[in-house]
Amino acid sequence: MKKTSWFIFCLVLAVSCLDEPDCYQLNNDLLGISFHVMGSTVADTLKATLISFSGTNATTADTTTAILLPLNYTTTSTNIFFARSDGSKDTLDLKYTTKVQFVSEDCGSRYILSGLDVMHYSFDSIRLVSNAPTKSGAINIEVYRCPKVKYVGLTLQQLYISGTSTQSATTLPATFSSITADFSGEQIYGNNTRSTLYLPVDLTKETSTYTFNFTDNFTNGNKIKKLTVNYDTIWKTRYKQCGLQEFVTNLRVVNPETPTAQDFDTVAVALKSNGDTLNVLGDPPVTNVKIMRCPITNLTQIVFRKVNTTTAVQVHIKRITNNYSSDEYYAGDTTSVVKLPLNPNAAVTSTEFYIEYTDRSQIDTVSVQYTLTTNTLFKGCGPQTIYSDLAELVAHDNVIVLETNDVKFPPVTNIAVEVN
């Protein structure tokens, strides 16, 4: 049920006379509850399968960080029962004062609630912030739970370049058939597309390994990858209500025995705004690790457009081939833009592409030369070949190398092919 449903539900119960505008929402019977984790400034999420309370027949469920509930104004107490999706349950027993006040013949009486107090609760901790229920909704009670630190947060990112200049990374959603925690065999995020992941760690050891089975090209190659994280665990009483608890610190993403052994292009522990590493697991989970894909440096982009214009047009491609491999690209596609790989051989400074169409007999040849340099733009990617200063190797009347003649990633349009 969406949050708006809570408000509609509560307002219906709170209305004494719907037919008269002056009688709308007479009773101040709305109780606001928010959810938190001790030691965190981030709101906690209640994943409830059932919330019920005595004195009414109302039951509902929600996933939310705060809720509004109508108190039973015909009595001076309400018992609220919470059942969560993980099977846990909690109760909250409240008392308050109810005063009846006559309003009018049309509206009848209204109920004024005050003196809210918590008699009993089974949550880890609560704080009463206001003892006055309201008509429109405000937080009366803050519910706190003990932290349960057991998830490492990962973000998937794409490193990118502009010419020969390093740029920042962008998040890159990837699709998985599964992610498996090797220590338990548990499959996580099956058939899912995500850019941020939260994976359980093995608290019985100080290392956890995960196997990623990708269904897209996030990895630029082998679609099965492994990631190992190492860490320390400590037992500490941070909060009196929680007693002795286990926490995870000093997170690392490189095995000490094999310091370069990670399957992904580059992996690093995320940094805080002050430059310190985010190497402590949190609850709610935080993003501790960045998994980054290196930029592809040899993709040039070609646009098809009308003769003597900048208007892109759709073409029907039979296939596109090149002079250095047997690969075929865009076979049977209809498109106005194609991305094609320049010769990856760092000793060769030119490439030819041959474009065949399904609706015309001509074959267009795109013949370009370029400057090659080797640079380590990103430490985890190592030395990469950078392509710049594209120019026509053999001139063709309908092929134009544009001013954006440096290869970038994500690709930008370097070449235009004019078609009739």
The three state secondary structure string of 89-131 is EEEEEEEEEEEEEEEECCCEEEEEEEEEEEEEECCCEEEECCC
**What φ, ψ does residue 8 adopt, rounded to 5°?**
-60, -45
Say what the pLDDT of residue 124 is. Answer: 96
Whose CA is closest to 266, among 372, 155, 165?
Answer: 155
* Cα atoms in the 13 Å half-sphere on the side-chain side of 196: 8
Say what the pLDDT of residue 3 is. Answer: 42
Q: Are strands 196-200 and 151-162 parallel, antiparallel or unpaired?
A: antiparallel
CB atoms within 10 A of CB 47: 13
Say what the pLDDT of residue 155 is. Answer: 95
Say what the pLDDT of residue 255 is. Answer: 55
Say what the pLDDT of residue 55 is. Answer: 56
Say what the pLDDT of residue 18 is. Answer: 39
CB atoms within 10 A of CB 309: 10
Opening angle at CA 228, ends 226 and 234, nearest 5: 155
The DSSP H or E segment spanning 299 is strand 299-306
Which residue is it, tokens 């993709």?
299
Q: How far is CA 222 from CA 149, 171, 190, 264, 279, in A?
A: 32, 20, 18, 10, 28
Say what the pLDDT of residue 387 is. Answer: 95
Whose CA is closest to 387, among 342, 327, 321?
Answer: 342
Q: What pLDDT tens digit does each residue of the chain (420 aa) get? A: 444 344 334 434 444 343 444 676 788 889 999 999 999 998 998 888 888 887 555 566 678 899 888 888 888 999 999 988 888 999 999 999 999 888 888 788 888 999 999 999 999 999 999 999 998 889 999 999 999 999 999 999 988 886 545 556 788 899 999 999 999 999 998 899 999 999 999 999 999 999 999 988 777 667 889 999 999 999 999 999 999 999 999 999 875 555 445 678 889 899 888 888 999 999 999 999 999 988 999 999 999 999 999 999 999 999 999 999 999 999 999 999 999 999 999 999 999 999 999 999 989 999 999 999 998 888 878 899 999 999 999 999 999 999 999 999 989 999 999 998
Say what the pLDDT of residue 108 is. Answer: 84
239 burial type by CB count under 10 A (0-12 exposed, 13-18 middle, 19+ buried)? middle
Cβ–Cβ under 8 Å, residues 330 and 322: no
- Cα(368)–Cα(371) distance, integer angstroms: 11
Grouping H, G, I as helix, E, B as strand and the rest as coil, residue 6 is: helix
- Cα(382)–Cα(50) distance, integer angstroms: 53
Q: Which residues pair with 266 in a beta bridge?
A: 292
